[in-house]
Structure 1
Amino acid sequence: MHKVAFVTPGAYPVPSPNGGSVERVVEKLVPLLQPAIEARIFGRGGARLRPLGRLNGVVCERLPMASRGAYMNRVVRRLRAWRPDLIEVENRPKTILRLRREFPRANLWLHLHSNTFLLRPYLNDKRTLLASVRAADRIIVNSRFLREFVVRQAPEAAGKIGIVHPGVEPERFLLPHREVGRAQRGWCDRRIVLYMGRLIPLKGVHHLLKALPELVRRVPNVLVVIVGSPFYGSGRMTEYSRKLRRMAKPYAAHVHFQSYVPYDEVPEWYALADVAVVPSVRREAFGLVNVEAMAAGLPVVATRIGGMPEIVQDGNTGFLIDAANAPAELADRLSLLLANEALRAEMGRRGQARVCEQFMWQHSAAGWLREWNGFWGGGR
Structure 2
Amino acid sequence: MNILMLTSEFAPATGGIGTYAREIATAAAGLGAKITVVAPDYSEVSQTESGSFPFHLQRFHGGLHSARDLPAKIFLARDRVRLEDYDIVHAADWPFFIPVALSRRRTKARLLMTVHGTEINETQTRLKRLAIHATDVFGPRTEIAANSRYTRDLFHSRFSIEPKRIHAIPLGVSDFWFGPRASRDETRKAYGIARDKIVMVTVARLTRRKGHHMTLAALSSLPEKLRHSIVWLVVGPNGEADYVGEFRDMVETSDCNIHLLGSLPNEAIRDIYGASDFFCLTGVPDPAGRVEGFGLVYLEAAAAGLPSVGTAIGGVPDAVLADETGFLAEPFPDAIARALVEMAEDNDTRCILASGASAHARSLSWERCASETYGLPPSKENTVFKTMTEKPFESQMHRKDSMPRKVSMGR
Match of 1:141 among 146, 149, 160: 146
How far apart are residue 194 of structure 1 and its match? 0.9
Equivalent position SS for 1:133: coil
1:224 aligns to 2:227 (yes or no):
no
Equivalent position SS for 2:5: strand
RMSD: 2.7
1: CA distance between counterparts of 2:143 and 2:154?
16
The answer (yes or no) to whether the contact 2:101–2:138 under 8 Å persists in 1 is no
How far apart are residue 321 of structure 1 and its match? 0.5
| 1:138-287 pair list within 5 angstroms | 138-170=143-175, 172-173=177-178, 175=181, 178-188=184-194, 189-215=196-222, 217=224, 218-230=226-238, 238-251=241-254, 254-282=257-285, 283-287=291-295
Equivalent position SS for 1:61: strand
1:33 aligns to 2:28 (yes or no):
yes
How far apart are residue 341 of structure 1 and its match? 2.3
How far apart are residue 339 of structure 1 and its match? 2.0
Equivalent position SS for 2:254: helix
| 1:124-139 pair list within 5 angstroms | 124-125=125-126, 126-129=129-132, 131-134=136-139, 137-139=142-144
How far apart are residue 261 of structure 1 and its match? 2.1
Match of 2:350 among 341, 344, 347: 344
1: CA distance between counterparts of 2:244 and 2:167?
36
How far apart are residue 320 of structure 1 and its match? 0.9
Structure 2: 5+ residue stretches without partners? 286-290, 379-411
1: CA distance between counterparts of 2:203 and 2:64?
31
2: CA distance between counterparts of 1:74 and 1:53?
23
- TM-score where L is the length of structure 1: 0.84
For 1:61, the aligned partner's letter is: Q
1:119 aligns to 2:114 (yes or no):
no
How far apart are residue 84 of structure 1 and its match? 4.8
1:61 aligns to 2:58 (yes or no):
yes
The answer (yes or no) to whether the contact 2:212–2:282 under 8 Å persists in 1 is yes
Q: CA separation of 1:155/1:48 partners in 2, compared to 1, >3 Å: closer, same or farther?
A: closer
Q: Deviations over 1:157-200 (max 9, x none)?
A: 42211222211135633547521111122112432111111222
How far apart are residue 153 of structure 1 and its match? 1.0
Equivalent position SS for 1:134: coil
Tell me how many residue pairs correspond in the alignment.
357
The answer (yes or no) to whether the contact 2:81–2:89 under 8 Å persists in 1 is no
1:359 aligns to 2:364 (yes or no):
yes
| 2:19 counterpart residue number | 24
The answer (yes or no) to whether the contact 1:170–1:296 under 8 Å persists in 2 is no
Q: CA separation of 1:99/1:171 partners in 2, compared to 1, >3 Å: closer, same or farther?
A: closer
How far apart are residue 253 of structure 1 and its match? 5.1
1: CA distance between counterparts of 2:269 and 2:162?
37
- TM-score where L is the length of structure 2: 0.78
The answer (yes or no) to whether the contact 2:78–2:103 under 8 Å persists in 1 is no
Q: Deviations over 1:126-151 (max 9, x none)?
A: 44455433376111111111111111
Equivalent position SS for 2:260: strand
Q: Deviations over 1:199-257 (max 9, x none)?
A: 222212221121132136233121221111246xxxxx621222211121112651111
- The worse-fitting range, judged by mean Cα deviation, of 158-167 and 81-90 is 81-90
| 1:104 counterpart residue number | 105
For 2:313, the aligned partner's letter is: I
| 1:301 counterpart residue number | 309
Q: CA separation of 1:52/1:345 partners in 2, compared to 1, >3 Å: closer, same or farther?
A: closer
2: CA distance between counterparts of 1:25 and 1:255?
31
Equivalent position SS for 1:49: coil
For 1:82, the aligned partner's letter is: L
Q: Percent identity?
A: 19
The answer (yes or no) to whether the contact 2:4–2:81 under 8 Å persists in 1 is no
How far apart are residue 67 of structure 1 and its match? 7.3
Q: Deviations over 1:253-305 (max 9, x none)?
A: 51111212233433122122211112112322111111112111111111111
The answer (yes or no) to whether the contact 2:10–2:22 under 8 Å persists in 1 is no
- The worse-fitting range, judged by mean Cα deviation, of 135-144 and 240-249 is 135-144
The answer (yes or no) to whether the contact 2:91–2:100 under 8 Å persists in 1 is no
Match of 1:330 among 336, 340, 348: 336
Equivalent position SS for 1:183: helix
For 2:197, the aligned partner's letter is: R
The answer (yes or no) to whether the contact 1:96–1:135 under 8 Å persists in 2 is no
Q: Deviations over 1:13-62 (max 9, x none)?
A: 3xx4x622111112111122236432100111254532771443201012
2: CA distance between counterparts of 1:315 and 1:67?
39
2: CA distance between counterparts of 1:295 and 1:67?
30
